[in-house]
């Protein structure tokens, strides 16, 4: 679900980092810093993108920059704050296109842009965002997402809930897809191979006839997709259902019949 990391410290310090504002005038005496916030964030992003959050240790980031591990603590209070800045930074990659026309097209765009972002930076899926770092890109993202559902008859509360619903949906769908992709890599087995390795033992142990629906549906799905889980299809199916559901609410709001 989440790493525990999030900048737990002083809001002033965190916000200064996120918006790249120096709170104090630069010190007159002493050596100039050899690194910068941006350099460290870039190095950390490179590692997280390539090898995952688990591989992004302070030592590894420092190595990447040819520095000692403790040096990073001159720039960030801790790993949590580094992660906060990484998050705000990649949110900056969102094109944030505002699609003209219907709200549904706009909300669809929100879902797809978020999906692309998660696929490009799968470590995002591990970052808790219930109290997001209030950097420029986090703010702009929320504003853009609200724009998609503004002026279509929803209340403010419904607007917020709808945006959260779409975000949550995309998060879950991509998590499932990425999990499936990673497990193939790690295990060196496709889903079909994995299944075939289990069936004979399962058959010997349990009464497979007790699960007739699972057997029927599992077989059909397996044949259709050559895998128990086809992520592309699942994403499209789920998004269509979700937007249909929102559609019903919007229709109800614009033409209430009771």
Partner DNA sequence: GTCAACTGCGTACACTGTACGAAGAATAGC
Partner DNA sequence: GCTATTCTTCGTACAGTGTACGCAGTTGAC
Q: Does 66 bind a second copy (CB under 8 A)?
A: no
Asked whether position 16 contacts a second copy by CB under 8 A, the answer is yes
Using rule CB under 8 A, residue 32 touches a second copy: no
Of residues 44, 56, 72, 159, which one binds a second copy by CB under 8 A?
159
Calculate the alpha carbon distances from 228 to 43, 125, 194 in Å.
37, 22, 10
| Binding partner at 7 among a second copy, DNA, none, C-beta below 5 to 8 Å by kind | none
Which of 65, 234 has the CB closer to a second copy? Answer: 234
Residue 123 Cβ, how far from a second copy at the closest point, in Å? 8
CB of 67 to a second copy, least distance (A): 28
Question: Is 224 near a second copy (CB under 8 A)?
Answer: yes
Is the CB of 12 or the CB of 70 nearer to a second copy? 12
Note the residues at the interface with DNA (CB under 7 A).
27-35, 56-60, 67-71, 73-75, 78-80
Q: Please, what is the minimum distance in Å from the beta carbon of residue 71 to a second copy? A: 26
In the bound complex, what is the minimum distance in angstroms from residue 76's beta carbon to DNA?
8
Query: Which partner from the list DNA, a second copy, none does 59 bind, CB cut-off 5 to 8 Å by kind?
Result: DNA
Residues of span 129-158 touching a second copy by CB under 8 A: 129-131, 134, 136, 139-140, 142-143, 146-147, 150, 155-158
70 binds, among DNA, a second copy, none (CB under 5 to 8 A by kind): DNA
Q: How far is CA 147 from the centre of its chain?
A: 20
């Amino acid at each position: 679900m989440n790493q525990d990391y999030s900048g737990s410290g002083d809001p002033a310090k965190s916000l200064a980092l996120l918006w790249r504002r120096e709170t104090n005038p630069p010190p007159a005496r002493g050596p100039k810093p050899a690194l910068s916030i941006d350099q460290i964030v870039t190095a950390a992003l490179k590692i997280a993108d390539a090898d995952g959050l688990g591989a992004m240790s302070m030592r590894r980031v420092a190595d990447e920059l040819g520095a000692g591990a403790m040096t990073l603590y001159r720039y960030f209070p801790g790993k949590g704050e580094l992660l906060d800045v990484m998050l705000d930074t990649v949110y900056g990659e969102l094109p944030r296109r505002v699609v003209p026309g219907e709200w549904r097209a706009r909300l669809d765009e929100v879902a797809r842009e978020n999906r692309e972002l998660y696929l490009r930076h799968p470590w995002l899926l591990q970052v808790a965002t219930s109290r997001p770092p209030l950097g420029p890109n986090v703010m702009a993202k929320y504003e853009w997402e609200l724009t998609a559902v503004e002026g279509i008859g929803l209340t403010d509360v419904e607007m917020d809930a709808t945006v959260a619903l779409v975000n949550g949906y995309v998060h879950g769908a991509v998590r499932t897809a990425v999990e499936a992709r990673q497990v193939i890599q790690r295990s060196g087995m496709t889903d079909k191979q994995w299944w075939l390795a289990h069936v004979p033992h399962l058959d010997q142990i349990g009464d497979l006839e007790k699960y007739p629906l699972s057997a029927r549906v599992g077989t059909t799905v397996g044949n259709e997709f050559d895998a128990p889980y086809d992520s592309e299809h699942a994403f499209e199916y789920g998004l269509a259902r979700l937007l249909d559901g929102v559609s019903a609410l919007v229709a109800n709001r614009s033409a209430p019949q009771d």
